[in-house]
Each structure stands twice: as structure tokens, then as C-alpha cells.
Chain A
Amino acid sequence: MEILTLAAKIGAYALMTGVLLFALGVVALRNLFHSALCLAAALIGIAGLYLFFRADFLAAVQILLYVGAVMTVIIFAIMLTEHLSGKTTIQHNRQSLPAFLGIAALVTVIAKVILQTPWPVTQKALGAHTSVEGIGTALMTVYVFPFEVISVVLIAALIGAVIIAKRENPS
């Protein structure tokens, strides 16, 4: 069994490396379409990581929402803006310094949070299995208010989209 565990470990690290590489590709590649595809690959990799950590539901939702929906919309946008799809685009501009500062601040905050959080690695936590029923019950009881707020936001977005689409078409 050790061999299987080892293989799984190697697989996990390979997956993480892959995700990082693809994430790098997203910001480094000069072709927007390639960047978008890298983003899709990175997102799929993250879904794989979720799966690895036994968060099946999260993995499926990650693929469904991010890869299936969000990425499709991004690529759609790239293809519609024709002049972007063909040529290579420069991925930096004059705001690189402020951007760098902002990201540095963000990374510091996140790192601090990660370091300060105690990560209790207990047998119980390892064995925990996020079941669909659990998530569903939680959404409908404890988190019902945020859930409803999100749905209101989504409906607002939908209505806005419809209005914008209507305005473009005079007929």
C-alpha cells in the first residue's frame, strides 16, 4: 500500500506543479487565447486537487462553473473581439509598479493568514467526507440568507444583461 500512497503523493505534487505552471502561463503568454486555455487548464487542475482532497462536490462544481461556464464566456469574449485573437498582446503596461505593490500586499496578507491558522491534522479531520447532503442542508438552514442574497444578485445581473442586450438592438 505504501507504493500507492507514494504514487498518490507524487501525483498530487505533479498536479500542483502543473497548476502553478499553467497559472504562470496565464500571465506570461503573449497570446490571449493561449492564456485563456492555460487558465482553463489551471482551473481543471485545481478541481483535480479538490478531488484529491476528497471534496468531490466542490471539484464537480469547480469544473461546471469555472471551466464550463466562466471559461466559455471568457473565450467567447476573446473570439468576438477579433483583433485580440490573432495577434500577440503585450501583457504588461505602465502600471506594473502599483500592481506589483498591490499583489505584494495581498500575498503578505494571505501568507500571514495561512501561517497564523492552526491546521489541526487530526484523524477525524482526515476522515471527514463532505457529503452532498451536508452541503445541501447547510445551504438551506444555516446559510440560507447568503444563499438568497446571492440569488437576488444573480437575478439582478440577469435582468441587467437582458436590458443591455435589448438596447443594442433597436429593432
Chain B
Amino acid sequence: MVSLFREKTQRADGQVLEINFGPQHPSTHGVFRLHTLVDGETIREVKPVMGYLHRNQEQISENLTYTGFIGFTDRMDYINAIPNNFSFVLAAEKLAGIEVPERADHIRIIMAELARIVNHMAVVGFLLNDLGAAFTPLLYAFRERELILDIFEDLTGSRMMCNYFRIGGVKSDLSEQHLATIKKMAARLPKFLDEFETLLTNNEILCMRCQNTGILSPETAVNSGITGPALRASGVNYDIRKTDRYSLYGRFDFKVPLGKTGDVYDRYYVRILEIRESLNILRQAVAALPRGEFINKKTAAFIRSPRNFKPPVGEAYARTESPKGELGFYILSDGTPQPWRCHARAPSLINLSALETMCVGQKIADMMIILGSIDIVLGETDR
């Protein structure tokens, strides 16, 4: 492997060790390489090396219909498929100027918020595993996650690769039974969160490990284009659900939790608070779910014949607040059933850009939890 630091290693005083964390390493969350220079246990330099999971998804989209590509967006951030669907479908609708029925919008928000809860719970669980817990918090989180995935499977047919959103609406309607399960879930989760927080939030070891490690200043965060909980933990009030008010997010009353220090602990706690806010939105959306169509009548036909969906020549960029940050799809159409170019602004990739700033001067163990707290999914980083 070619050293990325050849020049600098020679200048270093011989105490420096060059270590590759990854591509096969238990806590790089996939095939990802952290090329590091360490001085004893202290990190001197970090170079993230990605691309091991590159699957050419943007190129694939150019040979697929819009509907056909929705299934591929599932595979980008494979922990939570639905927000990916959401973003892509919004972009396609913007391109073709399609209205979405209110019921469909409500269903979309319900599903997206459930997915956010799933994602945040998985992330906090994995972060705790990186911190050295023997799977207990992760399995507690996964216990609840499984129940939400049950809802997903019941409604969309798949636990993780939902492929649920369609242009102009969603694939299938939410029944009363589904609503009852979701209501039950929304009532159950706060209790679980309380237990989870008792286990962790005040834990002295967690505080020692996480507080003041990997501090990301608001300036660096904004300059590096970091979005999502990682940005909000630094105290910048930027939530696309609030700024863009896409879909029907403008109608619901929810708060944006903000941290102050921007360290790993804040990123952990902001996520916990976001789960609580998501539950808030969920309750409101379930209560306000109107009757009506779950998909725009005109576009319903595109499900059966995807090749008839030919958006006019033009371009569109739509972004959503995915659980990991700003997930945007930029689509360029030439009037054919396939997008001419489709680009995804993947938060996992862009949030990595400040990794070195956060890691330098910290310990090896900190690097792992900083990586865990940024919340990357390699499927999205590499696409």
C-alpha cells in the first residue's frame, strides 16, 4: 500500500507509528480505511480512505427508469432506506412538477420519522459498541428497532430495503392496523428511551470518554459542509425540515435540539433528543392523517408503466433532512424515461471531511468513537 505520508514520515522523529485502521477493522463500520500516524497513543494525522464499497450507483441510475432507481436508493444508506427514497422522489417530483396528495405526505413523514428513530438508535448502539460496551446497549436499541422494522415489513414488504415511495405518493396505503401499531410504538419508545438513558447518559465512564473529545467547532462544521446531528451538536441551528419545510414539515410542531460543545457526547445526546422530537412529529402526523389518495391519481399509472414517466428537460435538486444530514438528489433530465445524470449529495461522505480536524491530538480510542459519532454508512459514502 502506498503511504500517504511518505514525506512526513521521514521528517518525523522515529516515534511515529503508521497504522492502517481498516479496510477490515471491527469499528470502521464497513470497508473503510483510516490511514493514521500515531505517536504512542496520540493521533498525529488521519487520512480517511474510502471507495472500497463503490458500486457506481449514480451511473446505474442513468440506465434505469426513475421508479426503477428508487430501489437502488435504498442501498445507499442501508440503515435507513426511507429517507433516501424520500429525497430522490422529491427531486423527481420537483422535476416533473407533480403534486402529492396530503395523505401520501403524511404517510411519508410518518415513515421518515420512524426511519430516523431506527437510524439514531442503531447509531447510538454502534457508538456504544465502539466505546467498548459488550453489545448490551446495541442489543437494547435493536430490540426496539426490530419492532419498528416489523412495521416497515408489514407495510412495505421489506425490513430494510423498503422501496416504498413512488413518484406522486407511496406504494401502498397505511391501514388502521398499521396506525394502531405505530401508535403503540410511539407510546412504547419513550419508556425505552428513559431506560436507555438510565443505562448510559449519566454513566461516568461514558462522560469521561465522550465529553470534550472530538470537538467540532461551529465554524469548522459550517466550513466543512457538515450537516445533520453532527452540525447541530456544535450548536448551529440548521435543520432542513425547518429551513425548507419540505413536504408537510411546516405543519408540525417540533423543536431542533442543539448542543453547545460539539463533542462526541453532544452528538450522542442530540440524537437521543432527536428521537424524542421525532416521536412528537410521529404522534402529530398519526393524529392528523387525512383520508384520501395515497398516491397522485395521474402518477399512479407510472407504477405500472415506469417508462411513461418522462419528466421535461431540465434539472432539479431536492434535499431532505436524512438522519445523517442533508441528503440531496440532483437530477438532470433530457426528457427520456431515464435521468441523464443523477447525483446524490451524501451526508456520510461530506461529514467525513472534518474527521482529521476532530481526531488530531486525541487518542486512538477517541478516533474510533469520533468516527462512530459522525455516523457514516459506507454504502452512502462510496455509493
Chain A positions within 8 Å of B, measured between CB atoms, are 82-83
Contacts and interface: CB of A to CB of B under 8 A. Distances in A.
Interface of A is mostly: helix
Contacts of B14: 82-83
A82 B17 CA distance: 10
B157 to A, nearest CB: 56
A82 B14 CA distance: 8
A83 B13 CA distance: 12
Interface string B1-34: 0000000000000100100000000000000000
3 contacts: A82-B14, A82-B17, A83-B14
Contacts of A83: 14
A67 B262 CA distance: 46
A83 B14 CA distance: 9
A154 to B, nearest CB: 26
B322 to A, nearest CB: 38
Top 3 nearest A-B pairs by Cβ distance?
A: A82-B14, A83-B14, A82-B17
A67 B17 CA distance: 28
Nearest to B17: A82
A121 B297 CA distance: 112
A82 B12 CA distance: 14
A140 to B, nearest CB: 41
B138 to A, nearest CB: 34
Contacts of B17: 82
B298 to A, nearest CB: 65
A83 B17 CA distance: 12
A129 B220 CA distance: 72
B254 to A, nearest CB: 42
Nearest to B16: A82
B360 to A, nearest CB: 13
Contacts of A82: 14, 17
Nearest to A81: B14
A5 to B, nearest CB: 53
A83 B15 CA distance: 10
A158 B14 CA distance: 27
Nearest to A82: B14
A76 to B, nearest CB: 12
A85 to B, nearest CB: 13
A36 to B, nearest CB: 21
Nearest to B361: A171
Nearest to A83: B14
Nearest to A171: B361
A77 to B, nearest CB: 13
A152 to B, nearest CB: 32
A82 B13 CA distance: 12
A127 B17 CA distance: 57
B363 to A, nearest CB: 14
A83 B16 CA distance: 12
